[in-house]
Amino acid sequence: MKFNFRIPTDIYFGSNIVYENKDVFCSLGSRAIIVTGRNSAKKSGALADLERALSETKIQYCIFDRIENNPSVKTIGNAAALAKDFKADMVIGVGGGSPLDAAKAVGVLTANPNMAVMDLFSGGFSAAVPIIAIPTTAGTGSEATPYSVLYVEEQSTKLSFSGKCTFPHSAMIDAQYTNSLSLYVTIDTAIDAFTHVFEGFLCNNATWLSDALALEAIRVFGECLPLLKDETKTSEIREKLMYVSFLGGLVITQTGVTIMHGMGYCFTCFKDVSHGRANAFLLPAYLDYVGKIAKTKIDKAMKEMGLSSAAEFLLRIYTLVGDAPNLTPVEAAMFTKKTLLQTKSIQNTCRLTGEDDIHSIWDQFVK
């Protein structure tokens, strides 16, 4: 067994963590750009806490609050332009995965003012201004990863980039910010967090250490699963879901994700299915596909969640998300071509995966 575990991010976890650690901001600079979406930072209370912290530490700041779900290259360019105009020396991402991923892109583009947004995907950068991540959903774990996933219009797909400098400097994780989420978003993001740890657990790159983290997250997710469908119970599990999401970030930083994520982007880009649900709809086919060679690990994961079988697990997921969209044969063929662009996810999958395999999985959605 060989591995290198690197997570340079300072992790702060708990209630009121942003305000209590306001000195972190002034240790990093004096001019911040806050990168966020239209609503979540305000609705969650995170923006108010952050503005209070920045004001009291005399940090000048501007706000870019137009990050969309699946942030586009154009939007990233606009945010980076504001950061450069403002002479920001740090980027604070507040929100779900999209604003956090956008903050990483803006962090690199601010430190490399002549770089075009598309250059992010070819790597070759080594500097970013410090990035602080404040999640308001319990799903992506982006606060603990170097990954940034952006929507590239010309290719009609999501592509990711990462570098040593794109780890957030600090992650401030306060589960209170998820209190205002709807049940729909809570379920969606929780399943995304689960798929990170589950795919990492079944991934080619899994190590003893990533497995230990994944199993802990799978166990805690198992405690949350029976309560996820009941809106009156979600407050009991918010902190645990945030913990699962954070652990998911640690796991996929080590392992990467697999074809379930690589395929899920097609549902998101072409069927307007949110990210977590896209993964949820693929879970049955994925389990069937990798189950041929990963049965022992799948059984272990189910046991860790207190479930008797993968079938019981899939039934529980189905009761949360319902039926997957149907595809036409033409869509299945097109989705196959798009999935082939996700080369890393394919390489990470524990079963050797070719075009025919991917096509046969998409064909299961043709009705």
Using CB positions, name the residue nearest to Zn ion: 192
Closer of 188 and 192 to Zn ion (Cβ): 192
Of the two residues 80 and 278, which places its CB atom closer to Zn ion in the complex? 278
User: Least distance from C-beta 148 to Zn ion, angstroms?
Assistant: 12
> Judging by DSSP bridges, how do beta strands 148-152 and 157-161 pair with one another?
antiparallel
C-alpha torsion 141→147→148→149, nearest 10: -80
What is the total count of residues that contact Zn ion (CB under 5 A)? 1
Report the distance separating Cα 265 and Cα 260, nearest Å: 9
Q: Measured between alpha carbons, how far is 115 from 344 in angstroms, rounded to an integer?
A: 24
Torsion, CA 211, CA 200, CA 278, CA 180, rounded to 10: 60
Q: How far is the CB of 251 from Zn ion (least distance, A)?
A: 11
Written as six digits, the tokens of 145 are: 């990863």
Stretch that binds Zn ion, among 78-86, 103-111, 188-196, 284-292 (CB under 5 A): 188-196
Least distance to Zn ion, CB of residue 247, Å: 13
The total number of residues written for the chain in this structure: 367
End-to-end CA distance of the chain: 44
Min CB(250)–Zn ion separation in Å = 14
Nearest approach, Cβ of 158 to Zn ion (angstroms)? 10
Nearest Cα residue to 138 out of 92, 90, 171, 91: 171
Q: Which is nearer to Zn ion, 89 or 199 (CB)?
A: 199
Scanning 62-70, 184-192, 310-318, 319-327 for contacts with Zn ion by CB under 5 A, the matching segment is 184-192
Strands (E), the chain: 10-13, 31-36, 60-64, 90-95, 131-135, 148-152, 157-161, 170-173
Q: Looking at beta carbons only, is 110 or 258 nearer to Zn ion?
A: 258
Whose Cβ is closer to Zn ion: residue 65's or residue 192's? 192
In the complex, least distance from residue 269 CB atom to Zn ion, rounded to whole angstroms: 14
The residue (of 61 and 198) whose beta carbon lies closer to Zn ion is: 198
Positions 192 through 211 that interact with Zn ion (CB under 5 A): 192
* Binding stretches for Zn ion (CB under 5 A): 192
